[in-house]
Structure 1
Amino acid sequence: MASRLKKKCCTLYEAALEVVTSRYSFYKHDLEMLPDSVLFDVIYEVYEKGGIQPLREAFSRVDIVARLLKITDKRFCLIRSFQGALTSMFWEEVPRGTEEAVLQSQFLVEFGGGVPNSLAKGYENLCADLEDTQVQVDRLVETGLRLGGFLSDAGWFAESERILLACQEIFKWARKEGRIWLQILECCQKLLHVQSSYCHFEEADVTYNASVTTVVGLQGDFVTANLAVLYKEFSALHFNRSEYSLAHYWAVESLRAITTELPPCVIIEVFRQASKACVVKREFKRAALLAREVLCLANEVFDVNDPRYADALMDYGFFLINHDRVRQSVSIYELALDIRLAMFGPMNLHVAIAHEDLAYALYVYEYSSGRFIRAREHADKALFIMEKLLPRNHLLLASVRRVKALILEEIALDNMVHDAGTHILLQNAEELHKSALDLALRTFGERNVQTAKHFGNLGRLYQSMSRFQEAEAMHLKAIAIKENLLGSTDYEVGLSIGHLASLYNYHMKKYRKAEELYHRSLDISLKLFGESYSGLEYDYRGLIHVYHKLGDIEKVAQYTYVLNNWKIQRQLSLIQEDDPLDSVGSPLPIADVAALFFEDDLD
């Protein structure tokens, strides 16, 4: 008897929760009677107990999810249980010996994918049946904004877009008064975020124009609080389309629109996007200021398991890898991936993107060592997930195919055990690069930085395949596009120039042309990164080879000395690198960050 009393003490509420969840099928028809907070606890407890089928039924209902979303302080518990319902399996129905990843993907496509679709369809039906009463309009708009934002956060962009478009339709005939204008602007902002993230750029243009029209039609301070977020989305749209000057312009405008009344999470979002826009414009001092401030704020505002903290880490990793701190970027991407996996499970678009970014960071980090096993594993996972979750020719596949192709090419070159295996790897890489180029051409045409990168990648691959004339044509095309869009001294131009120099130097014996290109590449790299930049090694070694072939012994000695000095500088810079999270301290006042950003000496 005493042992029974010691078994487990709990509150009356916990005991009632245990009874309801243990007999959920009996009580599920009474869910409407429960208060929102109690309903949330019941659903989450069912998730904790592994009740997948009941969760799928509950999460397919707009009315249930709309009520759960009202519990704002548990939003990410809701995402975790929602994703858990989508990616778990009925193991008793699974054939033995089948790999878990394959099972999860099959389940997600055949079963789980129907839940977000049911939510989108359910909301569209509610909008179609809407009666013209202000109470119904307000309720349905509020539900649409919450539900669309939730599915976006969870990585279900297509379904989120459908819901937000249906919500937007309501505004066309709703009475334009009071807070309806703020809701219109909020809907545009959320929809623009989804369409930009999901690469629906034509649809995003329509939303962009609707946003501008709405802002122009409003006066005074009525929409001031929304402008920073809206401009941030403008910047993100141009960033995702590789229109870097416009991305930078709108990022700066979003910073100008920041006010101290904005929530910290909004300020973090603005700083994140502005930091990325500064990175691609090679304004590294400004990018560093914002990236570190994002981490300081995120460390204070978010829990370490919050996916928004992972988002901050991902952007910091982007800054690090572009600022030649590759080793540090790897550790940051690994941490971000762990957080996203814990929140979203293995079959999720946010997780796939984290795998892809980590794969590329590992590829760059291990470039000189030839150890690409981990890089390939993460690239394979990213591609597997995206091919299961995305339409066949979706633009997001271009980037991950590019990363996998780069890795396969290096594996082929570093492990030339027999010609047949090398040939197959290079052939696979070519297929992936061509597929990525085709997707970019369909979306952007030739005159785009992403398209140029794919031309350049094919150039490098054809060099590896001893197809030198084709390689030269690809490199020249990449350089021409990049120079036209970015100018002759941009980092991307320097990268392509260095690749063409390598082709001329080691394969086509055009040594004077190679010499000229190496010096151009060096000038760009030294100006942007300084004397310890990792990429300088390839140019210095290339020049030594050029001058050796030209018989210029003095130049060979000169650049051998320069290369040895670079090795010392590089080693010192690596020793001085600290843990990227050790420097996280207290955030600066927002006004101080803005003032520092606009200082001239940060140019």
Structure 2
Amino acid sequence: MARATELEWAPESLYNTAISAVVMRFTDNRTELRSLTDDVLFDVYYKLYDKNGLVELGNEFTDLDVFMRVLRVMNKRVLLHRSFQAIMDTEVNLAQVLAKEFCRRLTPEALEDETIKSKLIQLGLSLGSFLCEAGWFADSTSIYTACLDACINDENTNHKYRAMECAVRLLHSQNVNCQYKDSEETFNKAMKICMELEGRGHKVNKAVLHAQHCGLLFAQSRYTQAFNTCHLAILELNSNMPPIAIVDVMRLCSKACVVKREFKVAELLIKYAVAFAKEKFGKYHPKYADTLLDYGFFLLNYDCVIPAVKVYQLALDIRQSVFGGNNLYVAIACEDLAYASYVNEYSLGKFQHAKDHAEKSMSILSKILPEDHLLLSSSKRVKALILEEIGIDCNNRDEERKMFEEALSLHLSTLEQARQAFGEENVQTAKHYGNLGRLFQSMKRYEDAERMHKQAIEIKERLLGPDDYEVALSVGHLASIFNYDLAKYDEAEKLYLRSVKIVRELFGEGYSGLEYDYRGLVRLYTQRGEYGKANHYNDIINQWSVIRDAHLAKEVNPLEYEVNMSIPELVELVLKNHTPPSASQHQPKGADLKGDAKEAAERSSGE
């Protein structure tokens, strides 16, 4: 007998047939449907989505009581995300409607009744959590803020714990939505609540709070503080925590370790987080995609560019499958993949793949975020870097000028937003100066290029110290201008040698970015007629190539590994290898990389 999968048509189950029949006469049966169980009602609504009945479904979901019923069906959350996003892609801002309706219910009269108050706070936490999972952070923020305000001044211990939970969730939403000043206030409130509870003799696990604070400090480029806070989070990590909390602590702390070049600890944390998320949530779940993006971040900074691209692509595929449409999570994954592809394709000059993803990210974000939002600014930065490289390779002068002018406009816009968000004395601001320096070099505005790179170096040195990777990156860019465009060979030589020294000490002899400095030195010594030194660095390039080939040969499928330890064993191993530095020590940034050799001026890719 032929298997069902081999048939051209297979009959639906009786249950599915009944659901389809109900949906065909949905308008007639709408009122009676409310008497169904939550599971069955969910299936009716999803079939309605599947049949493209978005108007009717939107009308149903705008009823908060109805939506909370489908929200209780936890084992079909991915399907709910898919149908919810489809409604958001219409003119119905369902997230905002639900958030406003919830906040409207938090009346003084309702909050006076302890039973009603408890139910409302729980409803808010559930709704806020879903909207946060779905990428609608402004609306989840308004819900969490209302919940926090409702219980923060209540002396009841249970409500204090609720206030703590609201504050931690609010901190997460504000972090992702780039509301950093608000995040700082929320963190301070959360710490105050913790102290009040601990003052009463109650135990409070602060692992997630510390991890979210770590994420805030990371976003603000306060890397030493982030690394120290990461240590505090790991100290309180245990297997009794909810799986989603365990995953978030691990992945956020891993990023803090990456920028401190603590790659061994970062690898332990992120690989465990990826495997744990896959086991607990499944390989098609958004939380698994979250861990993949942070794993890609680790790989990209660990000089494993090709595996990073693969991991970023998988993360995007999952988010696209779950959300689709104009969703913030999809846009972020597109941007991450765009930058990784830009780095990967840098030596080949084939940037269409990277450009497509950067433009898709910008297109989505421009529809759902304000023009001055930092997330949109980040996508503009990536597109500007790509446009510059396309312009360099363009044979048509008019097209080249057009590409450069658009890139300049994008870079200036992102610089101004960075200044407003972080101030002048910030690594992110310095990186924008560096990107402008690269672009001005391409535009043959050499004095402007030199000024931008020197400004970037000065800021980075003040913040990170003289021997940081970020400093080496900018020093190498400035050396490229002196060498290829201004014939300042003595100055270029000093800069190249300084860059090489920093990078070798941080990464070893096989780091891919060293090729730029080596090739620059070969050209420099050739121009000065010092052929012995030029030959010496040609030999070094050959040795470097052997090391790189060996490194690339070792690269395997980044997801083919096993984790054979418990969470307590992981914590013990991490703490054994994790030594927080003094807050006064300088730290490497490390969020940006290099590509391979490129003709004309040898220099690393943009920041």
Does the TM-score normalized on the shorter chain lie above 0.5? Answer: yes
Which of 413, 418, 423 is residue 440 of structure 1 equivalent to? 418
233-242 or 78-87, larger mean C-alpha shift = 78-87
Aligned partner of 2:114 in structure 1 is 134
Q: Does the aligned pair in 1 maintain the 2:265–2:577 contact within 8 Å? A: no
Structure 1 counterpart SS, 2:206: helix
Q: Deviations over 1:19-48 (max 9, x none)?
A: 432222122233443333332222222222
Corresponding residue of 1:321: 300
Q: Give, in angstroms, the shift of residue 295 of structure 1.
A: 2.1
Alignment map for 1:258-297 (pairs within 5 Å): 258-297=237-276
Letter in 2 for 1:452: A
Match of 1:85 among 84, 87, 92: 87
How do 1:144-159 residues align onto structure 2 when only pairs under 5 Å count?
Answer: 144-159=124-139
Task: Indicate which of 384, 387, 390 corresponds to 2:366.
Answer: 387
For 1:428, the aligned partner's letter is E
2:449 & 2:248 partners in 1: Cα distance? Answer: 41
- Note the aligned Cα RMSD (angstroms): 1.9
Do the aligned residues in 1 keep the contact of 2:198 with 2:204 (CA within 8 Å)?
no
CA distance in 2, matches of 1:502, 1:10: 68
The reply on whether 1:597 has 2:577 as its aligned counterpart is: no
* Structure 2 Cα separation of the partners of residues 144 and 160 of structure 1: 9
Q: Which moved more, 1:164-173 or 1:308-317?
A: 164-173
Q: Does 1:170 align with 2:147?
A: no
* Secondary structure at 1:371 match in 2: coil
1:197-208 alignment, distance < 5 Å: 197-208=176-187
Aligned CA distance change for structure 1 residues 282 and 118 (closer, same or farther; 3 Å): same
SS in 2 for 1:515: helix
Moved more, 588-597 or 315-324: 588-597
| Structure 2 counterparts to residues 84-483 of structure 1, below 5 A | 84-87=86-89, 107=90, 111-112=91-92, 114-128=93-107, 130-131=109-110, 132-172=112-152, 175-219=154-198, 224=203, 226-415=205-394, 417-483=395-461
Residues 1:296 and 1:474: Cα distance change in structure 2 (over 3 Å): same
Q: Is the 8 A contact 2:86 2:325 kept in 1?
A: no
Report the Cα distance in structure 2 between the residues aligned to 1:235 and 1:533, rounded to whole angstroms: 28
Q: Which has the higher helix share?
A: 1
Letter in 1 for 2:359: D
Query: Residues 73 and 57 from structure 1, CA distance in 2 versus in 1: closer, same or farther, beyond 3 angstroms?
Result: same
CA distance in 1, matches of 2:355, 2:256: 28
The answer on whether the counterparts of 1:60 and 1:115 sit within 8 Å (CA) in structure 2 is yes
Matches within 5 A, 1:535-574: 535-574=513-552
Output the CA distance in 1 between the equivalents of 2:42 and 2:155.
34
Which shows bigger deviation, 351-360 or 64-73? 64-73
The normalised TM-score by structure 2 is 0.91
The 2-side partners of 1:207 and 1:142 are apart by 19
* Aligned AA (1:403): V
1: CA distance between counterparts of 2:490 and 2:129?
Answer: 57
Amino acid at match of 1:522: V
Worse overlay, 263-272 or 455-464: 263-272
Q: Give, as a single letter, the amino acid of the residue that structure 2 aligns with 1:218.
A: L
Cα 1:37/1:221, change in 2 over 3 Å: farther
8 Å Cα contact 2:85-2:325 kept in structure 1: no
SS of corresponding position for 2:502: helix
Of stretches 463-472 and 293-302 in structure 1, the one that deviates more from structure 2 is: 293-302
Q: In the comparison of the two structures, how many residue pairs are matched?
A: 571
- Residue 301 of structure 1: how far off its partner (Å): 1.7
Q: Cα deviation per residue 1:153-186 (whole Å; 9 max; x = unaligned)?
A: 101111111111122221156x432421221111
Q: What one-letter code is carried by the residue in structure 1 that aligns with 2:123?
A: T
Question: 1-side partners of 2:518 and 2:325: how far apart?
Answer: 43
Find the counterpart in structure 1 of residue 3 from structure 2: none
Distance 2:510 2:200 in 1: 49
AA at the equivalent of 2:59: E
Q: Which residue does the alignment assign to 2:53?
A: 51
2:68 counterpart of 1:66: yes
Given the alignment, which residue of 470, 473, 476 partners 1:498?
Answer: 476
Once the two structures are TM-superposed, the CA of residue 221 in structure 1 deviates from its matched residue by 10
- Cα 1:231–1:602 change in 2 (3 A) is closer
**Could you tell me how far apart the structure 1 residues matched to 2:125 and 2:295 are?**
29
Matched-pair contact (CA < 8 Å) for 2:234–2:571: yes
| The 10-residue stretch of structure 1 (328-337 or 587-596) with the greater mean CA deviation from structure 2 | 587-596
Change (3 A) 1:264 1:211: same
CA contact (8 A) 1:238 1:247 kept: yes
Aligned-pair CA distance for 1:299: 2.8
Distance of 1:402 and 1:566 partners within structure 2: 31
Superposed CA offset, 1:222-263 (max 9, x none): 765641111111111111122111211111111001122113
Greater mean alpha carbon deviation, residues 13-22 or residues 179-188: 13-22
Identify the range of structure 1 (560-569 vs 357-366) with the bigger mean alpha-carbon deviation: 560-569
1:586 aligned to which of 563, 572, 575: 563
Aligned partners of 1:72 and 1:163: how far apart in 2?
20
Query: Paired residue for 2:465?
Result: 487
CA distance in 1, matches of 2:10, 2:406: 60
**Percentage identity across aligned positions?**
43
Q: Is the 8 A contact 1:314 1:332 kept in 2?
A: yes
Unaligned runs of 5+ in 1: 1-5, 88-106
2: CA distance between counterparts of 1:602 and 1:61? 51
Q: What corresponds to 1:90 in structure 2?
A: none
Q: In 1, are the aligned partners of 2:295 and 2:311 still within 8 Å (CA)?
A: yes
User: TM-score, normalised on structure 1?
Assistant: 0.91
1:376 Cα shift?
0.5
By relative contact order (CA 8 Å, sep 6+), the higher-ranking structure is: 2
Matched residue type, 1:399: S
1:286 and 1:602 in contact (8 A); partners too: no
Greater CA drift, 53-62 or 275-284: 53-62
> CA offset at residue 462 of structure 1?
0.5
| Equivalent residue letter for 1:138 | S
Deviation string for 1:175-222 (max 9, x for gaps)? 432421221111001110011100111211221111111011112797
Distance in 1, matches of 2:367 and 2:497, equals 45
Which secondary structure state, in structure 2, belongs to the residue aligned with residue 33 of structure 1? Answer: coil
3-state SS of the aligned residue for 1:219? helix
Q: Secondary structure at the match of 2:424?
A: coil
